[in-house]
């Protein structure tokens, strides 16, 4: 098949890479000329394991093409995948301006039957608006489908090649057949449904994942208050197969470009469909208090070492891990940004290290000193604060760290380190829910 993918971001590039790998001819269109030019040279604009190899191979095999021109690609394509961003507006709803303009530009260029398949996460209820946009340019020779994306950054290729499910939301038999054929080489359960149900599956899934995280974060607070160990509690809870262990790690709260925005957009949608989604409001509220709680933890650890209320003015805090999670250089809605801003307001000096995001973070927080490894960041630091659990941090030499830090204080926002070992080395250790 010949297909066009609109938007060369995380979802668009991975979709284009996977469908070209499976033998289709794929055009990937983006409005950013800079992005398209560097992609043509095989340069990927962000860090995502396996993606560079997939793109390079398929560009070389002449199955994958990058362009800023809809007219070069859409007329040749049977399916157009819309993968543009749907970021949050100030009131928490989804901003659909990129979606509308991508659909309009596509429609201007339809030639023959075209199936517009929406992969972007889009609220329910805009079918008529989308149809009206297309009808300005094309008469009847088009159909819509929703096929939401469930990939996780850091394992995006793997998730797309081996997904748990493929959701195909359309009432058209022809569209169903085309999408089933295109996905035939990919494993995973097929969920065939109408467009609204498909879009709801996406929001309901992300909101449920966020709910699990806020639940375990709330449980972690209770464990601290009650003197229990959240690690043990969750291994007992997760052992029940009906509950499971996945997405049950307490920490500094969920971040990233999707869970936070999709939770607030889902609450707004529920409102507009006459339901006050109180459960999700609480999920969001729990997440919003996580950062402040974590700052209090840092303050408490410093106070305990000094035996009095500490003034952070003049203290150096080393932050390890800045990306919103490991194996990505994405810092959109990263908890690290909020944590650092709080600490800067308290006049602390911040030294930081992340294996992938130092360069991205420099643009957002230029006041921070970025180091090229963890040891350099920890040199003469008054405290270590672990925010993102990159696996390289688990290999660190803590005897060496004890010697180079000014004070042996560790605040572990992800329960990554061995508490007993660190205590035996003379560190003051604070985790989450322990």
Catalogue the active-site residues: 258
260 binds, among ligand UGA, ligand NAD, none (CB under 5 to 8 A by kind): none
- Identified binder of ligand NAD from the candidate list 257, 290, 388, 415, rule CB under 6 A: 257
Whether 142 contacts 29, CB under 8 Å: no
Q: Is 108 in the site for ligand UGA (CB under 6 A)?
A: no
In angstroms, the CA 134 to CA 143 distance is: 10
In the bound complex, what is the minimum distance in angstroms from residue 95's beta carbon to ligand UGA? Answer: 15
**Residue 14: which H helix or E strand, with range?**
helix 10-21
- Which x/- pattern over 228-247 shows residues binding ligand NAD (rule: CB under 6 A)? --------------------
Whether 118 contacts 94, CB under 8 Å: no
In angstroms, the CA 270 to CA 267 distance is: 5
Q: Which residue is nearest to ligand NAD (CB)?
A: 9
Q: Please, which residue, 121 or 287, has the CB nearer to ligand NAD? A: 121
30 binds, among ligand UGA, ligand NAD, none (CB under 5 to 8 A by kind): ligand NAD
Give which of 89, 87, 107, 109 is closest to 98, Cα–Cα. 87
Q: Is 260 in the site for ligand NAD (CB under 6 A)?
A: no
83-112 binders of ligand NAD (CB under 6 A): 83-86, 98, 101-102, 105
Q: Is 29 in the site for ligand NAD (CB under 6 A)?
A: yes
Q: Please, which residue, 76 or 402, has the CB nearer to ligand NAD? A: 76
Handedness of CA 194, 200, 201, 203 (dihedral sign): positive
- Which x/- pattern over 123-152 shows residues binding ligand UGA (rule: CB under 6 A)? --------------------------xxxx
Outline where DSSP puts E strands in 119-246.
142-146, 165-169, 189-193
* CA atoms within a 13 Å half-sphere pointing along the CA-CB vector of 369: 15
In angstroms, the CA 409 to CA 315 distance is: 12
Residue length of the chain? 434
In the bound complex, what is the minimum distance in angstroms from residue 381's beta carbon to ligand NAD? Answer: 33
* Chain positions contacting ligand UGA, by CB under 6 A: 121, 149-153, 206, 209, 213, 247-249, 251, 254-256, 258-259, 324-325
């Amino acid at each position: 098949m010949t297909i066009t993918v609109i938007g060369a971001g995380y979802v668009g590039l991975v979709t284009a890479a996977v469908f070209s790998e499976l033998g289709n001819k794929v055009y990937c269109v983006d409005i950013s000329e800079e992005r398209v030019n560097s992609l043509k040279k095989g340069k990927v604009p962000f860090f995502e394991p396996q993606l560079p190899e997939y793109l390079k191979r398929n560009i070389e095999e002449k199955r994958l093409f990058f362009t800023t021109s809809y007219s070069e690609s859409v007329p040749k394509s049977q399916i157009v995948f819309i993968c543009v961003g749907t970021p949050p507006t100030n009131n928490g709803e989804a901003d659909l301006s990129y979606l509308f303009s991508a659909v309009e530009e596509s429609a201007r260029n339809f030639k023959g039957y075209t199936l517009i398949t929406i992969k972007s996460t889009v609220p329910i209820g805009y079918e008529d608006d989308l149809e009206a946009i297309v009808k300005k340019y094309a008469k009847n020779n088009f159909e819509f489908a929703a096929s939401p994306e469930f990939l996780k950054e850091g394992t995006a290729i793997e998730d797309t090649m081996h997904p748990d499910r493929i959701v195909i939301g359309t009432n058209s038999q022809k569209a169903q057949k085309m999408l089933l054929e295109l996905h035939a080489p990919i494993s995973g359960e097929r969920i065939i449904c109408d467009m609204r149900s498909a879009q709801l599956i996406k929001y309901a899934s992300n909101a449920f994942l966020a709910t699990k995280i806020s639940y375990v974060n709330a449980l972690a607070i209770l464990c601290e208050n009650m003197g229990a160990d959240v690690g043990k509690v969750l291994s007992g809870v997760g052992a029940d197969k009906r509950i499971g262990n996945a997405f049950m790690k307490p920490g500094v709260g969920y971040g990233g470009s999707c869970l936070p925005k999709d939770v607030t957009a889902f609450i707004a949608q529920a409102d507009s469909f006459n339901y006050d989604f109180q459960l999700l409001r609480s999920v969001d509220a729990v997440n919003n208090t996580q950062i402040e709680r974590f700052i209090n933890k840092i303050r408490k650890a410093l106070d305990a070492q000094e035996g009095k209320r500490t003034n952070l003015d003049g203290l150096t805090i080393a932050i390890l891990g800045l990306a919103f999670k490991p194996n990505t250089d994405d810092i959109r809605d990263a908890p690290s940004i909020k944590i650092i801003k709080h600490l800067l307001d308290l006049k602390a000096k911040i030294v930081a290290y992340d294996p992938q995001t130092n360069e991205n973070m420099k643009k957002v927080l230029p006041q921070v000193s970025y180091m090229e490894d963890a040891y350099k960041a920890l040199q003469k630091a008054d405290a270590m604060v672990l925010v993102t659990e990159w696996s390289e941090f688990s290999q660190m030499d803590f005897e060496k760290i004890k010697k180079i830090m000014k004070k042996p204080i560790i605040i572990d926002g992800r329960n990554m380190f061995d508490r007993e070992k660190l205590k035996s080395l003379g560190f003051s250790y604070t985790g989450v829910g322990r």
